[in-house]
Protein backbone atom coordinates (compact mmCIF):
# COMPACT_ATOMS: atom_id res chain seq x y z
CA UNK A 1 0.00 0.00 0.00
CA UNK A 2 2.95 2.28 0.57
CA UNK A 3 3.45 2.51 -3.18
CA UNK A 4 0.09 4.18 -3.57
CA UNK A 5 0.47 6.53 -0.66
CA UNK A 6 1.43 10.17 -1.15
CA UNK A 7 4.42 10.09 1.16
CA UNK A 8 6.55 7.65 -0.81
CA UNK A 9 10.27 8.36 -0.66
CA UNK A 10 11.50 10.93 -3.14
CA UNK A 11 14.24 9.94 -5.56
CA UNK A 12 17.46 11.74 -4.85
CA UNK A 13 20.02 12.30 -7.58
CA UNK A 14 23.50 12.23 -6.18
CA UNK A 15 26.10 14.41 -7.78
CA UNK A 16 29.72 14.42 -6.93
CA UNK A 17 30.19 18.11 -7.67
CA UNK A 18 29.14 20.99 -5.47
CA UNK A 19 27.34 22.93 -8.20
CA UNK A 20 25.13 19.94 -9.00
CA UNK A 21 26.53 19.52 -12.53
CA UNK A 22 26.32 15.82 -13.37
CA UNK A 23 28.55 15.97 -16.43
CA UNK A 24 25.73 15.40 -18.91
CA UNK A 25 25.07 17.95 -21.64
CA UNK A 26 22.49 18.25 -24.37
CA UNK A 27 23.99 18.53 -27.83
CA UNK A 28 22.85 21.79 -29.42
CA UNK A 29 22.61 20.08 -32.82
CA UNK A 30 21.09 16.63 -32.33
CA UNK A 31 19.70 17.30 -28.82
CA UNK A 32 21.04 13.95 -27.63
CA UNK A 33 22.62 13.61 -24.21
CA UNK A 34 26.41 13.51 -24.19
CA UNK A 35 28.83 13.31 -21.32
CA UNK A 36 31.63 15.89 -21.01
CA UNK A 37 34.24 13.14 -20.78
CA UNK A 38 32.97 11.58 -23.97
CA UNK A 39 33.08 14.99 -25.61
CA UNK A 40 36.64 15.77 -24.54
CA UNK A 41 37.87 12.34 -25.62
CA UNK A 42 36.30 12.96 -29.02
CA UNK A 43 38.16 16.23 -29.77
CA UNK A 44 35.13 18.21 -28.56
CA UNK A 45 32.95 16.77 -31.33
CA UNK A 46 29.53 15.28 -30.57
CA UNK A 47 29.91 11.46 -30.64
CA UNK A 48 26.35 11.16 -31.95
CA UNK A 49 26.10 13.75 -34.74
CA UNK A 50 29.77 14.85 -35.12
CA UNK A 51 28.96 18.51 -34.49
CA UNK A 52 32.28 20.29 -34.01
CA UNK A 53 32.28 22.43 -30.87
CA UNK A 54 34.76 25.24 -30.41
CA UNK A 55 38.24 24.60 -29.01
CA UNK A 56 40.43 26.76 -26.80
CA UNK A 57 44.00 27.50 -27.85
CA UNK A 58 45.39 24.72 -25.64
CA UNK A 59 42.84 22.20 -26.89
CA UNK A 60 43.65 23.16 -30.47
CA UNK A 61 47.35 22.64 -29.79
CA UNK A 62 46.55 19.20 -28.39
CA UNK A 63 44.69 18.30 -31.56
CA UNK A 64 47.10 19.75 -34.05
CA UNK A 65 50.73 19.86 -32.99
CA UNK A 66 53.40 17.46 -31.76
CA UNK A 67 53.47 17.25 -28.02
CA UNK A 68 55.61 19.88 -26.32
CA UNK A 69 56.78 21.41 -29.61
CA UNK A 70 54.92 24.73 -29.45
CA UNK A 71 56.90 27.85 -28.59
CA UNK A 72 54.99 31.08 -28.34
CA UNK A 73 56.21 34.24 -30.09
CA UNK A 74 55.27 37.88 -29.53
CA UNK A 75 53.10 36.96 -26.54
CA UNK A 76 54.19 40.11 -24.71
CA UNK A 77 52.41 42.49 -27.07
CA UNK A 78 49.36 43.66 -25.14
CA UNK A 79 46.32 45.71 -26.10
CA UNK A 80 46.12 49.40 -25.19
CA UNK A 81 42.94 51.46 -25.14
CA UNK A 82 44.34 54.43 -27.03
CA UNK A 83 40.91 55.72 -28.08
CA UNK A 84 39.54 55.53 -24.51
CA UNK A 85 36.56 53.85 -26.07
CA UNK A 86 33.31 53.42 -24.21
CA UNK A 87 30.02 51.85 -25.26
CA UNK A 88 27.88 50.38 -22.50
CA UNK A 89 31.18 49.56 -20.78
CA UNK A 90 34.73 50.85 -20.98
CA UNK A 91 36.91 48.98 -23.46
CA UNK A 92 39.49 48.63 -20.69
CA UNK A 93 36.93 46.82 -18.55
CA UNK A 94 35.97 44.56 -21.42
CA UNK A 95 39.64 43.67 -21.93
CA UNK A 96 40.12 42.87 -18.25
CA UNK A 97 37.01 40.70 -18.25
CA UNK A 98 38.10 38.87 -21.42
CA UNK A 99 41.52 38.20 -19.89
CA UNK A 100 39.95 36.79 -16.77
CA UNK A 101 37.41 34.62 -18.63
CA UNK A 102 39.71 33.25 -21.30
CA UNK A 103 42.91 33.14 -19.21
CA UNK A 104 44.69 34.54 -22.27
CA UNK A 105 45.98 38.03 -22.99
CA UNK A 106 44.63 38.40 -26.53
CA UNK A 107 42.47 36.72 -29.15
CA UNK A 108 45.37 35.10 -30.98
CA UNK A 109 48.34 32.99 -29.97
CA UNK A 110 51.23 32.67 -32.43
CA UNK A 111 54.45 30.71 -32.44
CA UNK A 112 56.32 27.84 -33.97
CA UNK A 113 55.65 24.13 -33.61
CA UNK A 114 56.04 20.78 -35.29
CA UNK A 115 53.24 18.97 -37.06
CA UNK A 116 54.19 15.31 -37.48
CA UNK A 117 57.83 16.36 -37.42
CA UNK A 118 57.47 19.24 -39.86
CA UNK A 119 58.28 22.68 -38.45
CA UNK A 120 55.75 25.43 -39.15
CA UNK A 121 54.79 28.92 -38.03
CA UNK A 122 51.37 28.64 -36.41
CA UNK A 123 48.69 31.13 -35.37
CA UNK A 124 45.57 30.11 -33.44
CA UNK A 125 42.67 32.45 -32.78
CA UNK A 126 40.72 32.20 -29.55
CA UNK A 127 36.99 32.88 -29.79
CA UNK A 128 36.73 33.05 -26.01
CA UNK A 129 38.63 36.34 -25.97
CA UNK A 130 36.09 38.98 -27.06
CA UNK A 131 34.67 36.71 -29.76
CA UNK A 132 38.07 36.25 -31.37
CA UNK A 133 37.81 39.81 -32.64
CA UNK A 134 40.76 41.27 -34.55
CA UNK A 135 42.15 44.33 -32.80
CA UNK A 136 45.54 45.88 -33.43
CA UNK A 137 47.35 43.28 -31.30
CA UNK A 138 45.80 40.35 -33.19
CA UNK A 139 46.79 42.00 -36.48
CA UNK A 140 50.28 42.83 -35.22
CA UNK A 141 51.01 39.36 -33.82
CA UNK A 142 49.82 37.75 -37.04
CA UNK A 143 51.80 40.17 -39.20
CA UNK A 144 54.93 39.51 -37.13
CA UNK A 145 54.29 35.79 -37.52
CA UNK A 146 53.96 36.18 -41.28
CA UNK A 147 57.23 38.17 -41.34
CA UNK A 148 58.86 35.50 -39.18
CA UNK A 149 57.71 32.93 -41.71
CA UNK A 150 59.12 35.13 -44.47
CA UNK A 151 62.56 35.30 -42.82
CA UNK A 152 62.77 31.67 -41.79
CA UNK A 153 60.90 30.26 -44.83
CA UNK A 154 58.74 28.17 -42.50
CA UNK A 155 55.33 27.27 -43.95
CA UNK A 156 52.54 29.27 -42.31
CA UNK A 157 49.35 27.83 -40.79
CA UNK A 158 46.62 30.00 -39.26
CA UNK A 159 43.54 28.59 -37.50
CA UNK A 160 40.75 31.17 -37.42
CA UNK A 161 37.73 31.60 -35.14
CA UNK A 162 36.50 35.15 -35.11
CA UNK A 163 33.52 37.46 -35.11
CA UNK A 164 35.48 39.96 -37.24
CA UNK A 165 37.16 43.28 -36.57
CA UNK A 166 37.12 44.66 -32.99
CA UNK A 167 34.82 47.66 -33.15
CA UNK A 168 36.18 49.12 -29.91
CA UNK A 169 39.41 49.84 -31.78
CA UNK A 170 37.68 51.46 -34.72
CA UNK A 171 40.05 52.22 -37.62
CA UNK A 172 43.00 50.59 -35.79
CA UNK A 173 41.24 47.25 -36.11
CA UNK A 174 40.11 47.79 -39.71
CA UNK A 175 43.64 48.62 -40.89
CA UNK A 176 44.76 45.17 -39.69
CA UNK A 177 42.96 43.70 -42.72
CA UNK A 178 45.22 45.62 -45.10
CA UNK A 179 48.32 45.02 -42.97
CA UNK A 180 47.94 41.24 -42.73
CA UNK A 181 46.98 40.99 -46.41
CA UNK A 182 50.02 43.03 -47.49
CA UNK A 183 52.33 40.83 -45.43
CA UNK A 184 50.75 37.71 -46.96
CA UNK A 185 51.32 39.13 -50.45
CA UNK A 186 55.06 39.23 -49.65
CA UNK A 187 54.89 35.63 -48.47
CA UNK A 188 53.17 34.70 -51.71
CA UNK A 189 55.87 36.47 -53.73
CA UNK A 190 58.54 34.40 -51.99
CA UNK A 191 56.50 31.25 -52.67
CA UNK A 192 56.23 30.28 -49.01
CA UNK A 193 53.10 28.20 -48.47
CA UNK A 194 50.24 29.42 -46.29
CA UNK A 195 47.44 27.09 -45.18
CA UNK A 196 44.34 28.69 -43.70
CA UNK A 197 42.09 26.59 -41.45
CA UNK A 198 38.62 28.04 -40.91
CA UNK A 199 36.67 26.95 -37.86
CA UNK A 200 33.24 27.87 -36.56
CA UNK A 201 32.67 30.82 -36.77
CA UNK A 202 34.94 32.80 -39.06
CA UNK A 203 33.40 36.08 -40.12
CA UNK A 204 33.72 39.79 -40.83
CA UNK A 205 37.12 41.38 -41.36
CA UNK A 206 38.96 38.12 -40.69
CA UNK A 207 37.11 36.32 -43.53
CA UNK A 208 37.66 39.41 -45.67
CA UNK A 209 41.41 39.37 -45.15
CA UNK A 210 43.96 36.72 -44.13
CA UNK A 211 41.47 33.84 -43.61
CA UNK A 212 40.56 33.82 -47.30
CA UNK A 213 44.09 34.29 -48.62
CA UNK A 214 45.45 30.80 -47.98
CA UNK A 215 47.16 28.89 -50.78
CA UNK A 216 45.06 26.06 -49.40
CA UNK A 217 41.89 26.83 -47.46
CA UNK A 218 40.59 24.08 -45.21
CA UNK A 219 37.38 24.28 -43.17
CA UNK A 220 35.97 22.19 -40.36
CA UNK A 221 32.56 20.58 -41.05
CA UNK A 222 29.48 22.71 -40.47
CA UNK A 223 31.47 25.88 -39.74
CA UNK A 224 29.81 29.24 -40.28
CA UNK A 225 32.07 31.19 -42.64
CA UNK A 226 30.84 34.55 -43.82
CA UNK A 227 31.42 38.28 -44.03
CA UNK A 228 28.08 39.52 -42.67
CA UNK A 229 26.06 37.05 -40.62
CA UNK A 230 22.83 35.51 -41.95
CA UNK A 231 20.59 37.74 -39.81
CA UNK A 232 22.20 40.94 -41.06
CA UNK A 233 21.90 39.85 -44.70
CA UNK A 234 18.27 38.83 -44.28
CA UNK A 235 17.44 42.18 -42.69
CA UNK A 236 19.25 44.05 -45.47
CA UNK A 237 17.88 42.27 -48.54
CA UNK A 238 14.55 41.33 -46.98
CA UNK A 239 14.86 37.70 -48.10
CA UNK A 240 15.60 34.42 -46.39
CA UNK A 241 18.93 32.81 -47.23
CA UNK A 242 18.91 29.24 -48.61
CA UNK A 243 19.30 26.44 -46.05
CA UNK A 244 22.92 25.94 -45.04
CA UNK A 245 24.17 29.04 -46.88
CA UNK A 246 27.44 30.29 -45.35
CA UNK A 247 28.25 26.84 -43.93
CA UNK A 248 31.49 25.18 -45.03
CA UNK A 249 29.68 22.53 -47.13
CA UNK A 250 27.91 25.26 -49.13
CA UNK A 251 31.16 27.18 -49.60
CA UNK A 252 32.94 24.05 -50.82
CA UNK A 253 30.22 23.52 -53.43
CA UNK A 254 30.66 27.10 -54.60
CA UNK A 255 34.44 27.05 -54.80
CA UNK A 256 35.22 29.33 -51.86
CA UNK A 257 37.25 26.74 -49.94
CA UNK A 258 39.37 23.78 -51.00
CA UNK A 259 38.35 21.02 -48.63
CA UNK A 260 36.48 20.12 -45.47
CA UNK A 261 38.41 18.05 -42.98
CA UNK A 262 37.06 16.51 -39.77
CA UNK A 263 38.97 17.48 -36.67
CA UNK A 264 40.04 13.86 -36.13
CA UNK A 265 41.90 13.84 -39.44
CA UNK A 266 43.11 17.44 -39.44
CA UNK A 267 46.66 16.84 -38.19
CA UNK A 268 47.29 14.00 -40.61
CA UNK A 269 45.83 15.90 -43.54
CA UNK A 270 47.81 19.00 -42.67
CA UNK A 271 51.02 17.03 -42.45
CA UNK A 272 50.35 15.40 -45.85
CA UNK A 273 49.65 18.77 -47.45
CA UNK A 274 52.77 20.33 -45.91
CA UNK A 275 54.92 17.51 -47.20
CA UNK A 276 53.33 17.81 -50.60
CA UNK A 277 53.69 21.55 -51.04
CA UNK A 278 57.12 21.88 -49.48
CA UNK A 279 58.43 18.75 -51.16
CA UNK A 280 59.91 17.65 -47.84
CA UNK A 281 60.36 14.17 -46.62
CA UNK A 282 58.82 13.70 -43.22
CA UNK A 283 61.16 15.29 -40.70
CA UNK A 284 62.55 13.39 -37.79
CA UNK A 285 60.41 13.64 -34.73
CA UNK A 286 62.08 15.18 -31.79
CA UNK A 287 62.09 13.18 -28.63
CA UNK A 288 58.99 13.94 -26.66
CA UNK A 289 59.37 16.03 -23.58
CA UNK A 290 56.79 14.25 -21.50
CA UNK A 291 57.34 16.50 -18.53
CA UNK A 292 55.88 19.47 -20.34
CA UNK A 293 52.92 18.48 -22.48
CA UNK A 294 51.61 21.55 -24.29
CA UNK A 295 52.83 24.18 -21.99
CA UNK A 296 53.20 27.35 -23.94
CA UNK A 297 56.83 28.31 -23.66
CA UNK A 298 58.06 31.75 -24.50
CA UNK A 299 60.74 31.84 -27.12
CA UNK A 300 63.40 34.24 -25.99
CA UNK A 301 66.05 34.68 -28.64
CA UNK A 302 66.73 37.15 -31.37
CA UNK A 303 63.14 37.92 -32.23
CA UNK A 304 62.43 40.13 -29.25
CA UNK A 305 63.63 43.34 -30.95
CA UNK A 306 61.13 42.70 -33.72
CA UNK A 307 58.30 42.58 -31.23
CA UNK A 308 59.53 45.77 -29.63
CA UNK A 309 58.82 47.64 -32.83
CA UNK A 310 55.19 47.55 -31.92
CA UNK A 311 53.62 50.73 -30.65
CA UNK A 312 50.27 52.22 -31.38
CA UNK A 313 51.53 55.53 -32.63
CA UNK A 314 54.41 54.39 -34.79
CA UNK A 315 53.92 53.56 -38.42
CA UNK A 316 55.28 50.34 -39.79
CA UNK A 317 58.36 50.39 -41.92
ZN1 LIG B 1 25.06 15.92 -31.43
- Residues 50-94 have pLDDT tens digits of 999 999 999 999 999 999 999 999 999 999 898 999 999 999 999
- Residues 249-298 have pLDDT tens digits of 999 999 999 999 999 999 999 999 999 998 865 444 444 444 445 555 55
Dist. CA 263 → ligand 1 center (Å) = 15
Dist. CA 108 → ligand 1 center (Å) = 28
Dist. CA 164 → ligand 1 center (Å) = 27
Band (pLDDT 50/70/90 cuts) for residue 302 is very low
- Residues 179-237 have pLDDT tens digits of 999 999 999 999 999 999 999 999 999 999 999 999 999 999 999 999 998 889 999 99
Dist. CA 59 → ligand 1 center (Å) = 19
- Residues 111-144 have pLDDT tens digits of 999 999 999 999 999 999 999 999 999 999 999 9
Please name each of the domains of the chain with its CATH number.
Answer: 20-51 (no CATH), 55-308 (3.90.226.10)
Q: What is the pLDDT of residue 289?
A: 44
Q: What is the pLDDT of residue 154?
A: 97
Q: What is the pLDDT of residue 313?
A: 37
Instruction: Let me know: does 33 contact 24? Beta carbons within 8 Å.
Output: yes
Average pLDDT, the chain: 87
Q: What is the pLDDT of residue 301?
A: 40
Q: What whole-number distance in Å separates Cα of residue 219 and Cα of residue 216?
A: 10
Q: What's the residue count for the chain?
A: 317
Query: Is the pLDDT reported for residue 299 higher than 50?
Result: no
Q: Which phi and psi angles does 111 have, rounded to 5°?
A: 175, -160
Dist. CA 116 → ligand 1 center (Å) = 30
Dist. CA 205 → ligand 1 center (Å) = 30
Dist. CA 32 → ligand 1 center (Å) = 6
Question: Where is average pLDDT lowest: 13-22, 147-156, 249-258?
Answer: 13-22
Instruction: Let me know: does 195 contact 274? Beta carbons within 8 Å.
Output: yes
**DSSP per residue over 45-103, as a string?**
B-TTT--B----HHHHHHHHS-TT--EEESTT-----TT--BSSSBHHHHHHHHHHHHS
What global pTM score does this model have? Answer: 0.83
Q: What is the pLDDT of residue 21?
A: 79
Instruction: Let me know: does 57 contact 106? Beta carbons within 8 Å.
Output: no
Q: What is the pLDDT of residue 305?
A: 37
The distance from CA 196 to its chain's CA centroid, rounded to whole angstroms, is 11
Q: What is the pLDDT of residue 18?
A: 61
Dist. CA 46 → ligand 1 center (Å) = 5
pLDDT, greater one: 10 or 88? 88
Dist. CA 52 → ligand 1 center (Å) = 9
Q: What is the pLDDT of residue 14?
A: 53
Dist. CA 314 → ligand 1 center (Å) = 49
Q: What whole-number distance in Å separates Cα of residue 211 and Cα of residue 116?
A: 23
Q: What is the pLDDT of residue 164?
A: 96
Q: What whole-number distance in Å separates Cα of residue 181 and Cα of residue 259?
A: 22
Instruction: Let me know: does 58 contact 88? Beta carbons within 8 Å.
Output: no
Amino acid sequence: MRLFSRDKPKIKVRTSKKDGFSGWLKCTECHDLIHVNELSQNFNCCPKCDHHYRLSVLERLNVLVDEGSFEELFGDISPVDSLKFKDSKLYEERLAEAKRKSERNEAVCVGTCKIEGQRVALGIMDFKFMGGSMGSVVGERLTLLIEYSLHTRLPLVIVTASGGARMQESIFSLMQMAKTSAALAKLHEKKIPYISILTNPTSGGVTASFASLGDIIIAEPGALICFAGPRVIEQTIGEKLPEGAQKSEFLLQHGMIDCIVRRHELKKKLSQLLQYITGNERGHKEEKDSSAPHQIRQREPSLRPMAMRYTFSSTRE
